[in-house]
Amino acid sequence: MPVARPETSDSRIIAHVDMDCFYVQVEQRKQPHLRGQPTAVVQYNSWKGGGLIAVGYEARKDGVKRSMRGDEAKKVCPQIQLVQVPVARGKADLTIYRNAGSEVVSILARKGRCERASIDEVYLDLTEAAETMLKETPIESLESIDEEVLKSHVLGLCLNGKDDKEIVREWLTRRDADHRDKLLACGAFIVAELRLQVLQETEFTCSAGIAHNKMLAKLASGMNKPAQQTIVTLSSVKGLLEPLPIKKMKQLGGKLGSSLQTDLGVNTVGDLLQFSEEKLQDIYGANTGTWLWNIARGISGDEVEGRLLPKSHGSGKTFPGVRALKTLASVEKWLKELCEELSERLQLDLETNKRVAHTLTLHANAYKSTDTDSHKKFPSKSCPLRYGAGKILEDSVKLFQAGLREFLGSYMNPVSGGWGITNLSVSASKIVAAPSGTSSITRYFHGQDRFHTSSEPSDEKFKLEDDKLSPLRTENHSASHQTECGGEQPQVTHDTSSFDRYETTCKDEATEGCLTLQNHEPKPRLPEKEKNINDEKPSYGQKRKATKEKGTSSILRFLQTNSCSSSNQETKCLSSGLQEALDVENESLIESQNNRRASQWRYNIDEIDQSVVEELPPEIQDEVRTWLRPQKQANTVKRGSNIAHYFSPQK
């Protein structure tokens, strides 16, 4: 459900950075001979050449589209290079793309608060950096302006195709400009510099939108691609929004958007303007009504969250058509693969980032062969997460059984068939910092113990015959809101129950559909002075100088030398990804919108589950076992021990 948040200020400077044909660029970096060639990345399923999940800009010029399969792409562009997505455990393995996304995030985070929104998208709050620049290095005093900044698209500015750069220069350096426009101009310099740094350090190009809020920045980032940036001035907001199809707006791709169309005849954002806030509140409730009224006017108070790591991890696979899973055994087989992958990623997150996840959720898309109730969705189920692939699998199987039983209703026996699973995924959310130090690990154990259910006759409780569903505290989630992928990908991808990019094709929908939905009441947000991730704040002039000395070249020049055209023959429509529903497998990081309250930890040594110890690194298992024996030995654990070291932030 959308949350109506008033703008905290209309002079924030927010950027949305979106990588260009991301998977293709990652593959081209890996195989440089592909650079400049029409290239596409195809999914794991190779039927008809595999569904395209990423299409390079050279291939787009030849008419290749993401909705095509490899065979069709070869027909329209015979010289196309098709690269298959890496595979592990019989499914797509996105690790290489995830890691590439992390490289980019670490660079973008240098200038302000940074929120990793999907595998290839980032929001930046550059307000402080822009204000500093305005104070210390006013643009009108700059002698030369980098080409990359002059190439910016300024919405509302009339260009003639001849001296566009001069017109942009004039706009950037206007002495009498509104303060907010001056800040936007500073934002354009900062973003151009960041994009050049990304190019130099990773070889990837990206595009960006620069605006006063997240919603507008996101709308703009896809308007001029690849390797370009677009500025949304306050005066251009009305013209930008009015003609936009309502369904293209984030969070309006689903039922709410459909209701606006059918119930109110609202087809564009401009159509919404005729309704008063009270009227919209009457129809959709106070929060959603206000939110709708606001977005029609370009108002959105969403803050950029300081978060460089994903909010959740997920592993999923789709089983389209005849590949649908029709037996409990086949579901279990695939759950094993998914749970192993999820467990590995959780372990890596614990080791690398010292984070632990608290909630396990299972999503599925299903059908009944004798469908009497075609609208019924497979309910997503959650329970506390226990570490270790075996436990995750055990719990996932139980969650699946509970969900299936609910989906089928009491009159159908799951064992006798009559159902099929077309999408299956598991995700881990409610990720928080792992407690550090010896005293904290005890809390960690307590948390694990809390999750542990093996001492209970859980199998019994999960029997499908049993009327009381799960022994685990399962929670239902509306399937329509499963992931950010509301499609972070129907595309193949990002379909709701698949994820990672959460990030939704739905990159947009991703945010619409989420694992856990909570009704948020609109809360006025107070301006928040958050410290930049990078404490170092050299003056803007100094930074630029340093960059220049390193020989910054413009992105345009880089692209030309790499035979990659920067012209935007095929401009990505604002949320084109949303429409291109491919049909296969994808996994994604899920950004769940779970409750973010930190858990309360308590420790009681009697409650420690021995099995948890086995999941710890070998170097600390012995120590913990000693600790678990007679309680008098518990004191042998000292601060600075191996355990403390294991969880210490320095590790």
Residues designated catalytic: 121
CB of 237 vs ligand TTP, minimal distance in Å:
23
From 234-242, 313-321, 360-368, 489-497, give the range in contact with ligand TTP by CB under 6 A: 489-497
Q: Rounded to an integer, what is the distance from CA 416 to the centroid of its chain?
A: 38
CA distance 429 to 342: 11
The CA distance from 415 to 249, in Å, is 43
- Cβ closer to ligand TTP: 22 or 400? 22
To the nearest whole angstrom, how small is the minimum distance from the Cβ of residue 291 to ligand TTP?
24
Closest CA to 310 of 508, 649, 589, 596: 589
**Element holding 345 (H helix, E strand):** helix 328-353
User: By CB under 6 A, is residue 54 in contact with ligand TTP?
Assistant: yes
User: If binding is defined by CB under 6 A, does position 17 make contact with ligand TTP?
Assistant: no
Q: Let me know: does 252 contact 575? Beta carbons within 8 Å.
A: no
Report 88-127 residues binding ligand TTP (CB under 6 A).
119-120
Q: Does residue 585 interact with ligand TTP by CB under 6 A?
A: no
Residue 181 binds to ligand TTP (criterion: CB under 6 A): no
- The 10 Å CB-count burial string (b at 16+, else e) for 140-149 is eebeebbebb
Closest CA to 226 of 565, 503, 579: 565
Choose between 24 and 612: whose C-beta lies nearer to ligand TTP.
24
Q: How far is the CB of 439 from ligand TTP (least distance, A)?
A: 42
DSSP run (H or E) holding 278: helix 277-284
State the nearest-atom distance from the C-beta of 329 to ligand TTP, in Å.
29
- Residue 22: HSE in the Cβ half-sphere, 13 Å Cα cutoff: 22
**Tokens at residue 409, please?**
């209703």
Query: Shortest approach of ligand TTP to residue 416 CB, angstroms?
Result: 35
> Interacting stretch for ligand TTP, rule CB under 6 A, among 12-20, 234-242, 335-343, 598-606?
12-20
- When binding is defined by CB under 6 A, the residue of 3, 492, 515, 612 that contacts ligand TTP is 492
Should residue 229 be labelled a site residue for ligand TTP when binding is judged by CB under 6 A?
A: no
Strands (E), 378-461: 380-384, 419-433
Which stretch, 13-21, 142-150, 160-168, 244-252, contacts ligand TTP (CB under 6 A)? Answer: 13-21
Tokens of 353: 């980032």
Rank residues 38 and 301 by Cβ distance to ligand TTP and give the closer one: 38
Q: Which of 205, 224, 491, 594 binds ligand TTP (CB under 6 A)?
A: 491
The residue within the footprint of ligand TTP, chosen from 3, 4, 14, 53 (CB under 6 A), is 53
> Based on the number of CB atoms within 10 Å of its own CB, is 526 exposed (0-12), middle (13-18) or buried (19 or more)?
exposed
Per the CB < 8 A criterion, the answer to whether 256 and 268 are in contact is: no
Q: Hey, how many other C-beta atoms are within 10 angstroms of the C-beta on 362? A: 31
Please pick, from the candidates 3, 19, 105, 199, the single residue that binds ligand TTP as defined by CB under 6 A: 19
> Which residue number, 542 or 569, has a Cβ lying nearer to ligand TTP?
569
Q: Which is nearer to ligand TTP, 290 or 482 (CB)?
A: 482
219 binds ligand TTP (CB under 6 A): no
341 binds ligand TTP (CB under 6 A): no
Q: Distance between CA atoms of 569 and 571, rounded to whole angstroms?
A: 6
Q: Considering the complex, state which of residue 394 and residue 570 has its C-beta at the smaller distance from ligand TTP.
A: 570
Q: Closer to ligand TTP at the Cβ: 11 or 315?
A: 315
Q: Which of 133, 552, 577, 627 binds ligand TTP (CB under 6 A)?
A: 577
User: Taking CB positions, which residue lies at the least distance from ligand TTP?
Assistant: 491
SS3 41: strand
Among 248, 494, 543, 544, binds ligand TTP (CB under 6 A): 494
Residue with tokens 């210490």: 648
Q: For the chain, what's the residue count?
A: 651
Q: Which stretch binds ligand TTP (CB under 6 A): 28-36, 277-285, 369-377, 485-493?
A: 485-493
Site for ligand TTP in 496-555 (CB under 6 A): 501, 505, 507
CA 44 to CA 227: how far, in whole Å? Answer: 28
- Count of residues engaged in binding ligand TTP, rule: CB under 6 A: 24
Q: What CA–CA distance (Å, rounded) separates 206 from 118?
A: 14
316 binds ligand TTP (CB under 6 A): no
| Three-state secondary-structure class, residue 82 | strand
* Smaller CB separation from ligand TTP, 34 or 385: 34
**Residue 119 or 246 having the CB closest to ligand TTP:** 119
Stretch that binds ligand TTP, among 159-167, 259-267, 279-287, 486-494 (CB under 6 A): 486-494
Is residue 392 a contact residue for ligand TTP (CB under 6 A)? no
| 187 touches 123 (CB < 8 A) | no
Neighbours of 208 (CB within 10 A): 29
**Interface with ligand TTP, residue 627, by CB under 6 A:** no
Q: Which of 3, 12, 16, 23 binds ligand TTP (CB under 6 A)?
A: 23
In the list 493, 516, 532, 554, the residue contacting ligand TTP (rule: CB under 6 A) is 493
CA 395 to chain centre: 25
- Residue 504's nearest CA partner among 486, 516, 492 is 486
SS3 227: coil
For the residues of 464-528, what is the DSSP string, one character each?
TT-SS--SS--EEE-GGGS-THHHHTTSSS--TTS-SS-S-BHHHHHHHS-SS---PPP-PPPP-
**Footprint of ligand TTP on this chain (CB under 6 A)?**
18-23, 53-54, 119-120, 225-226, 489, 491-494, 501, 505, 507, 572, 577, 582, 586
